[in-house]
Amino acid sequence: MNILHIDSAITGDASVSRKLTADIVAKLTAANPEASVTYRDLNEGVPAIDTDWFAAVRMAPENPTPEQQRLIDISDAYLAEVQAADVLVIGLPVYNFTLPAQVKNWLDQIARAGKSFRYTAEGPEGLLKGNRAIIAYSAAGTPMGSEFDHASGYLRFMLGFLGITDVDFVAADRLAMDREAGLARAQEALENLAA
């Protein structure tokens, strides 16, 4: 089993989502001692896509410039990590009712026509089939699945678009209202999670 462990919280050691992703990975590796883990901290910076990225990555020039090749290599590295993973463990802290910008940037880097999805006569088809994702959702005041939770549904949709439809959530939400209850709900979900 290859595990891709992704964190994104800006709060360092105080992060609930970082603790949850670590606990999820620990559970998976305890059940699968031969598992390998690749760690990626998106808080260290994920380049946003822009015109230069489009010209390099999406347009795929036959003879890319050194700068274009650098942009291609960055995007390829993010995508290769996902393609190699059997399980993605993704920290999803909610900021201002949605996912962190660095998670959006990461999704933009890996959502690549012909590589992670393709267009067919029946519509788009995800090419990352067979992968599982476990999302560690944390929010101070946004209940997961509520009308103002614009993080969990979007991430589930994007993963599904890429072919990853086996998605579980371990949610510690409403922490500002009742931290202990939110952490207890997450612990219960973690204990019930299939490893």
Annotated binding residues: 15-17
Helix axis angle, 152-161 relative to 101-110, nearest 10°? 10
**Which among 119, 118, 116 is positioned nearest to 130, based on CA atoms?**
116
- Asked if residue 103 lies in contact with residue 155, where contact means CB atoms within 8 angstroms, the answer is yes
Alpha helices by DSSP H, listed for the chain, are 16-31, 51-53, 66-84, 101-110, 152-161, 179-192
Give the DSSP letter string of 101-119: HHHHHHHHHH--BTTTEEE
**DSSP string over 19-32:** HHHHHHHHHHHHH-
Q: How many CB atoms lie within 10 A of CB 6?
A: 25
Output the known binding site for FMN. Answer: 15-17
